Amino acid sequence: MDNNQKDLNQVIRQLKEKGIVVEKTKSRKDIWKAVSNKAMPNMTLRLQ
């Protein structure tokens, strides 16, 4: 579980660097929606 949280935090940090703000309370599905809306295929592997 800790590993997943760490991965999620890393993804959120990377999204922030790209100008996408993601609330930590959002579910993976919501984050996935935000990512796919921005069409960032390089993120797909990290979120699956």
- Confidence band (pLDDT; 50, 70, 90) for 26? low
Banded model confidence at residue 8, pLDDT cuts 50, 70, 90? confident
Residue at 6: amino acid letter: K
With vertex at residue 15, the alpha carbon angle to CA 11 and CA 16, rounded to the nearest 5 degrees, is: 120
Residues ≥6 apart with Cβ < 8 Å to 22? 12, 15, 16, 30, 31, 34
- pLDDT score at 20: 67
